[in-house]
Chain A
Amino acid sequence: MELAYALKHRHMSRKFLDKPIDEEKLDRLLYAAGRAPQGGNMPVREFIVVTDPKHMKLLRGVTPSFLANSPAAIVICTNLEKALEVMGVQGRDVLSLLDAGAAAENIALEAVELGLGASFVRSATTEAAKKVLGIPDRYRIDIIVGIGYKAKDSSPPVRATKPTVHLNQYGGTRNG
């Protein structure tokens, strides 16, 4: 698949079919996530794959912004202790978040390739999510990616957005 196609067709899905994702596809999503950049090239980013319906119910129950009914989720976490050790405060507080976002986007793009949909979830209730998933204190949940087969009416139309660009310096006009 052309990258341009995946970029064009990637969008946040809200409605999913009640159909499990096979292991091979999950492996490919995780491979894509692992290919995302990581500050210091050290393994401070970890993934929790949630496929069990009861654990999905737990995760959704404490994550109000998780509106999508996806049958699975990939929870992207950072090991804060390790991040501080190998990347310093900036690495722990900033770079690891950027890296988690990059991993989430890779998952979403690979999902297009696999005929799946993705939905990003960020919540202020991650401490509760850590508790229901048994995640140790030294980890931070950075983003949750809901995954599944899209229903037909899975998402409203994507708004066309044009990036704001400045040439050479702030306020510089590009293309005339």
Chain B
Amino acid sequence: MADGSNTSPTFDLATYLVASARDCMEEPLVYGPLRMLVAVDMIVDFMERGPEPRDEFLIRERKKIWESVITVMNDREAFARALDSLLAEFAEELKSRTLRGKAISSRGRVASDEGLPKRTRHSERESK
């Protein structure tokens, strides 16, 4: 690691999740979702600093997590709505990547599956 310590992003995340699991036993219910969102933030942060391809969707969503989701944490209903909205965007993205072959290019842009190895799509399998 750059700071001279001998940990890794995976280890840091695992430690955070284990500590969160313990913390959640005694914390208010709403802190559980908060801890999960912070874990997402950590994952995206690792990705941004690491060698793997940038996922622009995750980078955009990370910003939203802090700007529009966590800020309303003290309003349970608004928090649930914000999480619904966040999840809807993830669901749409998952659907797009899974069914329409949307993929992440190494240059950080979402690309179509042109040029990727030929594979059978769910929709094709279903129609057979």
Flag A121-165 by CB within 8 Å of B: 1 or 0 each.
001110010000000000000000000000000001000000000
With A61-B12, A64-B38 already in contact, the answer to whether A54 and B19 are too (CB < 8 A) is no
In angstroms, Cα B119 to Cα A72, docked, is 53
User: Would you call B57 an interface residue if the criterion is a C-beta within 8 Å of the partner chain's C-beta atoms?
Assistant: no
With A123-B23, A124-B25, A125-B22 already in contact, the answer to whether A61 and B16 are too (CB < 8 A) is yes
User: Which residues of chain B come closer than 8 Å to A63, judged between CB atoms?
Assistant: 19
The reply to whether B20 and A64 form a contact with Cβ atoms under 8 Å apart is yes
In angstroms, Cα B22 to Cα A128, docked, is 10
The reply to whether A61 and B15 form a contact with Cβ atoms under 8 Å apart is yes
User: Which residues of chain B come closer than 8 Å to A62, judged between CB atoms?
Assistant: 15, 19
Within 8 A of B (CB), among A38-95: 53-54, 57, 61-65, 67
In angstroms, Cα B31 to Cα A65, docked, is 9
In angstroms, Cα B20 to Cα A156, docked, is 24
Considering only CB atoms, which chain A residue lies closest to B71 in the complex? A156
Out of A53, A54, A61, A65, name the residue touching B27 (CB < 8 Å). Answer: A65
User: Which residues of chain A come closer than 8 Å to B4, judged between CB atoms?
Assistant: 54
The reply to whether B5 and A124 form a contact with Cβ atoms under 8 Å apart is no
Q: Count residues on chain B whose CB falls below 8 Å from chain A CBs.
A: 17
Chain B: interface secondary structure? helix
Chain A: interface secondary structure? loop
Chain A interface extent, by class: 10 to 19
User: Which residues of chain B come closer than 8 Å to A57, judged between CB atoms?
Assistant: 3, 5
Considering only CB atoms, which chain A residue lies closest to B1 in the complex? A57
| Residue of B3, B4, B22, B35 with most chain A CB atoms under a 10 A cut-off | B22
Flag B19-63 by CB within 8 Å of A: 1 or 0 each.
110110111000100010010000000000000000000000000
The reply to whether A64 and B23 form a contact with Cβ atoms under 8 Å apart is yes
Out of A53, A54, A65, name the residue touching B23 (CB < 8 Å). Answer: A65
The reply to whether B71 and A124 form a contact with Cβ atoms under 8 Å apart is no
With A124-B25, A124-B26, A124-B27 already in contact, the answer to whether A61 and B19 are too (CB < 8 A) is yes
Across the A-B interface, the 3 shortest Cβ-Cβ residue pairs: A124-B26, A64-B20, A125-B19
Q: Could you list 9 examples of A-B contacts with CB < 8 Å?
A: A57-B5, A61-B15, A63-B19, A64-B38, A65-B27, A65-B31, A124-B26, A124-B27, A156-B71
Given A57-B3, A156-B71, 9 more pairs with CB closer than 8 A: A54-B5, A61-B19, A62-B15, A64-B20, A65-B23, A124-B22, A124-B23, A124-B27, A125-B23
